[in-house]
């Protein structure tokens, strides 16, 4: 039913992020219920599920972006390379430099395209001089599949780009800080098929070095880019396994009805 191209090279990877018994509450709303997930290094993991099931919420737990929401409470343990990221000694700022994020809605800074990309490397001291910074900017924009469109107007404001271009700019910005894990919340929802293909290519390339977690509403996309897929439903992790397995032979009836379009 879905064209699953890559599979079965996943068993040997080390675990990058592991979540155990994760509960998330927004005030009294129980948004994530008892989720266990292992996200492997050098792997693309897709989160799928109907709208409002908690994909974004869970994703935001992985780099503690939920800390910024006052009513949000996270329980359970999430470990990055074996270290608990919710330990009180952990500085979330340091964590987020390692676990980057691309948001559902493109949100470039109202600054020049160049400064959008250069901001992360600057605050993390990744470039020693202007030449190095220029290099990082160019490399990141190329990886974001947007270099050719903006190379002549790096001084133009990033907010002046089209929606899809803005999203690729945000991807380039996230990549520029060289995170170890990249969290992407529906990165292609504002993109045309060509840009989508470029981003998917980028994700595939990133997989060589990083682990990528992508939330998507497109089954085809999940099937194309991911090696592992997690299906969420009403705050529960219903099924988690190899993408090929989930799409061709799901164990849970809810998964099956979702991917065949009966719930959602």
Partner 1 sequence: MTDATVHQPSASASKHAHSLLAADARTRKRNAAERRFRMYGIAAISVGLIFLVILLFTIIRNGIPAFTQTYITVEVELPEAKLDKKGNRDIADLKKVSTFGYAPLIDNAIFTKVQELGIETPFEKPKKMRSLVSASAAAQLRYMVLENPALIGTTVEFEVLGSSRVDGYMKGRVTRDSVARDKNIDAEHFDIVDAMAQDGSLARIFNWAFITGADASESRPEQAGIGVSMIGSFFMMLVVLGLSLPLGVAASIYLEEFAPKNRLTDLIEVNISNLAAVPSIVFGILGLAVFIQFMHLPQSAPLVGGLVLTLMTLPTIIISTRASLKAVPPSIRDAALGIGASKMQSVFHHVLPLAAPGILTGTIIGLAQALGETAPLLLIGMVGYIASNVPDGIAGGFLDPNSSMPAQIYEWSKRADPAYYERAWGGIIVLLLFLMTMNIIAIILRRRFERRW
Ligand X SMILES: Nc1ncnc2c1ncn2[C@@H]1O[C@H](COP(=O)(O)OP(=O)(O)OP(=O)(O)O)[C@@H](O)[C@H]1O
Tell me how far apart the alpha carbons of residues 127 and 263 are, in angstroms, rounded to a whole number: 49
Interaction partner, residue 14 (partner 1, ligand X, Mg ion, none; CB < 5-8 Å by kind):
none
Burial of 241 (0-12, 13-18, 19+ CB in 10 A): middle
Residue 4 or 190 having the CB closest to partner 1: 190
Interaction partner, residue 68 (ligand X, Mg ion, partner 1, none; CB < 5-8 Å by kind):
partner 1
Rounded to a whole number of angstroms, the minimum distance from the CB of residue 7 to partner 1 is: 31
Sheet holding 236-242, edge to edge: 99-102, 181-185, 211-215, 44-48, 228-233, 236-242
Residue 32 or 59 having the CB closest to partner 1: 59
* DSSP element (H, E) containing 197: helix 193-206
Q: Is 26 in the site for partner 1 (CB under 8 A)?
A: no
Interaction partner, residue 190 (partner 1, ligand X, Mg ion, none; CB < 5-8 Å by kind):
none
Listed in sequence order, the DSSP H helices in 125-162 are 130-143, 147-150
193-206 vs 130-143: helix axis angle to the nearest 10? 120
Residue 56 or 227 having the CB closest to Mg ion: 56
Interaction partner, residue 164 (Mg ion, partner 1, ligand X, none; CB < 5-8 Å by kind):
none
**Cβ(220)–Cβ(46) below 8 Å:** no
Burial of 124 (0-12, 13-18, 19+ CB in 10 A): middle
Rounded to a whole number of angstroms, the minimum distance from the CB of residue 9 to ligand X is: 28
Interaction partner, residue 57 (partner 1, ligand X, Mg ion, none; CB < 5-8 Å by kind):
ligand X
Which 3 state secondary structure label does DSSP give 173?
Answer: helix
Rounded to a whole number of angstroms, the minimum distance from the CB of residue 12 to Mg ion is: 31
CA 260 to chain centre: 24
Binder among 27, 110, 163, 253 for partner 1 (CB under 8 A) = 110
Tell me how far apart the alpha carbons of residues 233 and 239 are, in angstroms, rounded to a whole number: 9
Q: Is 101 in the site for partner 1 (CB under 8 A)?
A: yes
Q: Is 103 in the site for partner 1 (CB under 8 A)?
A: yes
Rounded to a whole number of angstroms, the minimum distance from the CB of residue 186 to ligand X is: 7
Rounded to a whole number of angstroms, the minimum distance from the CB of residue 8 to Mg ion is: 30
- Residues lying near partner 1 in the complex (CB under 8 A): 63, 65, 68, 70, 93-94, 96-98, 100-103, 105, 107-110, 119-120, 123-124, 157, 159, 170, 173-174, 176-177
């Amino acid at each position: 039913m879905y064209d699953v191209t890559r599979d079965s090279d996943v068993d040997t990877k080390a675990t990058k992020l592991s979540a155990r018994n994760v509960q998330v509450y927004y005030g009294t709303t129980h948004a994530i219920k008892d989720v266990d997930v292992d996200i492997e290094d050098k792997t693309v993991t897709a989160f799928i599920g109907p709208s409002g099931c908690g994909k974004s919420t869970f994703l935001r737990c992985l780099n503690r972006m939920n800390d910024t929401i006052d009513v949000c409470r996270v329980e359970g343990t999430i470990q990055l390379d074996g270290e608990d990221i919710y330990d009180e000694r952990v500085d979330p700022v340091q964590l987020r430099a390692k676990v980057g994020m691309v948001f559902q809605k493109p949100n470039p800074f109202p600054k020049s395209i160049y400064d959008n990309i250069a901001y992360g490397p600057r605050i993390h001291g990744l470039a020693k001089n202007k030449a190095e910074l220029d290099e990082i900017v160019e490399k990141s924009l190329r990886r974001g599949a947007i270099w050719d469109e903006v190379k002549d107007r790096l001084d133009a404001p990033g907010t002046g780009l089209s929606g899809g271009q803005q999203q690729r700019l945000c991807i380039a910005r996230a990549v520029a800080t060289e995170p170890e894990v990249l969290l992407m919340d529906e990165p292609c929802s504002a993109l045309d098929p060509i840009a989508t293909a470029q981003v998917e290519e980028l994700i595939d390339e990133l997989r060589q070095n990083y682990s990528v977690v992508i939330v998507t509403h497109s089954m085809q996309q999940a099937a194309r880019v991911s090696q592992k897929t997690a299906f969420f439903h009403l705050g529960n992790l219903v099924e988690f396994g190899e993408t090929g397995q989930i799409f061709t032979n799901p164990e849970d009836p809810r998964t099956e009805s979702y991917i065949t379009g009966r719930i959602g």
